[in-house]
Structure 1
């Protein structure tokens, strides 16, 4: 029957994933293509935007026989990744990734210009302006690359750039522009005025479940494209966070905690995503989850499977070194771009199994820290957490997470919940479902449950206290280290 399938597209940090889904949420076919990320000095992290569209074209070709049955295409992408384009929509420089910390000084200046009262009035929470905020990047570009800034017509998110290239239409959404919009998803003029010229370079905001256009050419020509939103939100609703009181945990390059709750207690370090489609999500995105695992695996020449197998052989009767996974700073709940990673407690008996386990535990501790803040903001503490994303494919890591958090974890059956989220929004946009909530009630299913070992949880309680203290103790040393490192760069 024509119109029975949906294509979901997730422009992620390490790869573009494209899935062909039916109306039950089952993935019938799938394409995933990775691409490189360039990392440079002074916190620079960049990608070539031209890599984002190739996998989409590959998927359209692979799905060509089923395209006549596709009702719509849904999109989501990494958030706080910014692309500066000219009047013709062509990139003027590589995209600045969400992990990029070059604009620390600009962020500090802008953040100091906003009062706590303004933050609460605008955003409903005392959110900071950090180095990943679009205004920080705009101000950095205006100061350090005025040649690019003067030619910049728009500053776009990856999803919005792909929509422009596919449909020729300009559209973004309020959820993806956290920090620029108020609690009604409207742009805030006073915020945009913090950087001269910012208001002129913002993409028009449209609803997440609106159809923004149709694919202009190729085998998918004529298929409607829904606006969609950021991968964090789509991934969380893809874990079932549409239902009030639900706690969801998304694991990919970073770890994201989200709780759906109409209750709001302003809490330092927590992002309160404006209410959308009747859903109010309190979120705590960390900076490094899968990124820490991949870093360690590449450093030690281990695949994810080998690393998981090694961690499983560690002696859990004794502590592994405590790992602080701040490899590129940290976001929720401390929001400090200058903090850096630490291994605490190394000795001559430490082996590869202990180190692999240490990575898993350190990421889990960072999640526990974020979860505490998010629960305070939402007024919800759930005994069961819905989990999804590519980072939940390791049984040993999942069990460690359950033990560290002291909560039951139930895993979503679809590996890439961003695809599920994008598809659910698209199906709602074309009327296959009456609401976003009803769409996800139908398509979210679970395949495995992990029960916490409360004896291990008690041991982790003591280690977590040390983890928190270690972050504070190392803050001054991290700042001094970066001062020395930056001085060395200036002397080159």
Structure 2
């Protein structure tokens, strides 16, 4: 049994997976985001102590029998979200999340320091360090340990201070730490995805009831684990994982102009896009459908689906960029086209439609640049619990969507890596073939395709104009 941990942006999830990819037990808890806009910067933070307290609570409440059968822990989590800590590993600030835009103003400076275009993790980590040094030097000079979110979980479970060697090159870390006048060991030691990064400490084992000295594998960030857990492998496949952040990806055997990452399988390349689209879904649920005290239940999302299903045909567009987008901090949430007779049903459906339009625009961008002919779409993430939303996407994308049995693809991807590392399977591909299953296929409705095609063309026309307007307002 593998115990997978996914430190998401809005939820922390854990699950026990057997070697066939089936879940025997799963638990989750919501996480609070402290978000605001200050001096046109998007601020998005969480309390690292809340991560740990939530994780320990969930672990303590797992079935005792399952705890005895666990062979390893597999960790994944939100993309680069930074914790700055003192010598004892105590946070000096809230964790700065991947949606936070403060680091992005240092993009060009980092580019000059490292001599190339920096990656997303490099901008988020290095940019934040420069920002804190310039704005909060009294904090900066107390920093002794730097963590990404996954590595902070590892540290609290095992006391191992490490960094992801896939995301950060050792020489680049030394160059940047030298420019910042920091010791290079402030980032810890490198870990890979294939050997244990640490072992469960006796103290945590005693507190949670898990066996001591369990090996802990730290996998890639959740987006890459989504790719592993979706089984994306062919060049005619397109992955759409609809979580708090919508992750879209394709895999290629040759490096093309759109490639953003090398896959963890050598010789394979990924075109990857991500937008925080699911945040707007949660925003609607919290503002209009939460219980007293702001508590959200699955009933809220079910009711939203029921309302959307009876929506009138309209030309309402819901631009869901509540946290901007990477290197585009000027983007904002926007509802366009409301008239007096329209209401929540039309607003909810417009969100479903607009998110589908954004996915289609990404699919078209990749297809046009690479000549890839996408025949199969793989759907995962919590958004695909909504049959209505899945149908809208199939109609807009004009292709069948294969919805996975395990929608928590990041959790499953981390477990697949762990089982491969433990020798259950000879390689990743074999593990994926045995552990990933399709639950349902949603086929497009030809009549709806024609209707949505007209709306999609309007969306594309308006999007560029709206983005230009928001950018002009932001920088005026």
Q: Is the Cα–Cα contact under 8 Å of residues 288 and 363 in structure 1 kept in the other structure? A: no
Q: Normalising by structure 2, report the TM-score.
A: 0.88
Deviation larger for 454-463 or 289-298? 454-463
CA contact (8 A) 1:228 1:425 kept: yes
Residue in 2 aligned with 1:81? 81
The superposition leaves residues 231-273 of structure 1 with CA deviations (integer Å, 9 ceiling, x where unpaired) of 0111121111245543211111011111121122213xxx622
What pairs with 1:262-273 in structure 2 (closer than 5 Å)? 262-267=253-258, 272-273=260-261
The answer to whether 1:105 aligns with 2:93 is no
Tell me how far 1:68 sits from its aligned partner.
Answer: 2.6
Please give the alpha-carbon distance, in whole angstroms, between the structure 2 residues aligned to 1:356 and 1:350.
11
* CA RMSD, 1 decimal: 2.6
Q: Summarize the Cα distance change of 1:279–1:433 in structure 2 as closer, same or farther, 3 Å threshold.
A: farther
- Residues 1:420 and 2:404 are matched in the alignment: no
Query: Which residue is equivalent to 2:307?
Result: 310
SS of the residue corresponding to residue 354 of structure 2 reads helix
Counting only pairs closer than 5 Å after superposition, residues 314-353 of structure 1 correspond to structure 2 as: 314-315=311-312, 318-331=313-326, 335-353=327-345
Alpha-carbon distance change, 287 to 132 in structure 1, aligned in 2, over 3 angstroms: farther
Q: CA deviation at 1:145?
A: 1.1
Alignment of 1:35-114 (within 5 A): 35-42=31-38, 43-61=42-60, 62-107=62-107, 109-110=109-110
Deviation of residue 170 (structure 1)? Answer: 2.3
| In structure 2, C-alpha distance between the alignment counterparts of 1:103 and 1:173, rounded to whole Å | 19
Uncovered stretches (5+) of structure 2, i.e. residues with no partner: 291-299
Equivalent pair of 2:103/2:126 in contact (CA under 8 Å) = no
Give the C-alpha shift of residue 198 in structure 1.
6.6
**Residue 211 (str. 1) matches residue 196 (str. 2):** yes
Bigger mean CA offset, 373-382 vs 52-61 = 373-382
Gaps spanning 5+ residues in structure 1: where? Answer: 120-126, 485-492
SS in 1 for 2:197: strand
Deviation at 1:424, TM superposition (A): 0.9
- 1:453–1:47 distance in 2 versus 1, CA, 3 Å: same
Instruction: Report the Cα offset of residue 443 of structure 1.
Output: 0.2
TM superposition shift of 1:104: 3.9
Give the whole-Å Cα distance in 1 for the aligned partners of 2:280 and 2:3: 30
Distance 1:108 1:362, change over 3 A: farther
Superposed counterparts of 1:15-30, under 5 Å: 15-30=11-26
* Partner residue in 1 for 2:176: 192
- 1:447 positional shift: 0.6
Measured in 1, the distance between the counterparts of 2:375 and 2:81 equals 34
SS at match of 1:276: coil
Q: Alignment partner for residue 455 of structure 1, among 440, 447, 455?
A: 447
Q: CA separation of 1:131/1:365 partners in 2, compared to 1, >3 Å: closer, same or farther?
A: farther
Correspondence for 2:297: none
Q: Which residue of 162, 175, 184 maps to 2:153?
A: 162
Q: Secondary structure in 2 aligned to 1:211?
A: coil
| TM-score, length of structure 1 as denominator length | 0.85
Aligned length: 456
- Deviation of 1:129 after TM superposition, in Å, equals 5.8
Which deviates more, 379-388 or 53-62? 53-62
Q: What do residues 283-305 of structure 1 show as CA deviations (whole Å, max 9, x unaligned)? A: 43332222111112223336211
Contact 1:8 1:18 in 2 (8 A): yes
| Structure 1 residues 187 and 282: alpha-carbon distance in aligned structure 2, compared to 1, 3 A threshold | farther
Between 1:53-62 and 1:415-424, the stretch displaced more is 53-62
* Distance in 1 between residues matched to 2:119 and 2:213, nearest whole Å: 42
3-state SS, counterpart of residue 297 of structure 1: helix
> Can you list the C-alpha shifts for 1:398-444, whole angstroms capped at 9, x where unaligned?
11111111121011101311111111111122222221221111100
